[in-house]
A and B are shown apart, each in its own frame.
Chain A
Amino acid sequence: GQQLNQSPQSMFIQEGEDVSMNCTSSSIFNTWLWYKQEPGEGPVLLIALYKAGELTSNGRLTAQFGITRKDSFLNISASIPSDVGIYFCAGHMTTDSWGKLQFGAGTQVVVTP
């Protein structure tokens, strides 16, 4: 299946810095999702986006549904050590009738004190 293009692959940042990552696709999506996965655990849903241009926050996390419907962005402000993990984007294509999601390869975030 198609994988989304997620970048960057990894980020090493200092505590207090902001983090930005994005996902792009050649297809149009009607839903964008952002997940966080910690070592040895399953992904946990952070933010869900449903409309082009939508901007949604969850605490220090902010995500946007791109206006072309082919991309999405996630920002983490003022990072803290517990932000460490792998962040995945996922999207649902408008042409899919089964509810299947496409996933990005993930962005590994490492926060140093």
Chain B
Amino acid sequence: DVKVTQSSRYLVKRTGEKVFLECVQDMDHENMFWYRQDPGLGLRLIYFSYDVKMKEKGDIPEGYSVSREKKERFSLILESASTNQTSMYLCASSRGGTGGNEAFFGQGTRLTVV
């Protein structure tokens, strides 16, 4: 079974803090994604990566950055957390290309910025 693991289930951070959300997958997938999920807005893509050190902006990259130094690990960074970044954050991975586009999700991190 594919396993995508996010480092925290719940986080509470203060406004202005730098926040790191970590995600690890164990299936040697090429693609990794970060989404945020808000009621009424569905899943929105923040950033994705198709290879080590490669990244592309998604639909809502403002206020976020990412890092992929190893194939299995994809980090989301909130440079200076703000209250409007309170949300559920979901990491996903997929094999990509001819290997398939099925995405497998982590359990989610519920971030509250106070």
- Interface residues, chain A, with chain B CB atoms under 8 Å away: 1, 3, 31, 33, 35, 40-45, 48, 88, 90, 92, 98-101, 103-106
Partner of A33, one of B40, B56, B103: B103
Q: A40 vs B40: C-alpha distance in the bound complex, in angstroms?
A: 16
23 contacts between A and B (CB under 8 A): A1-B44, A31-B100, A31-B102, A41-B107, A42-B4, A42-B90, A42-B105, A42-B106, A42-B107, A44-B105, A45-B104, A48-B100, A48-B102, A90-B103, A98-B56, A98-B96, A99-B31, A99-B94, A99-B97, A100-B33, A100-B48, A101-B103, A104-B42
Give Cα A104–Cα B96 distance, bound, in whole angstroms: 20
Question: Measured between alpha carbons, how far is A35 from B42 in the docked complex, in Å?
Answer: 13
Q: Are B103 and A42 in contact (CB under 8 A)?
A: no
CA–CA, A44 and B102, complex, Å: 11
B48 contact from A42, A98, A106, Cβ within 8 A: A98
Assuming A98-B56, A99-B97, A106-B42, is B108 touching A40 (CB within 8 A)?
yes
CB distance from A98 to the nearest CB of B (A): 6
Contact indicator A100/B110 (Cβ below 8 Å): no
Let me know if A100 and B108 touch, CB within 8 A.
Answer: no
**Are B42 and A103 closer than 8 Å at their CB atoms?**
yes
B50 within 8 A of A: yes
B78 lies within 8 A of chain A by Cβ: no
Within the complex, what minimum Cβ distance (angstroms) separates B76 from chain A? 14
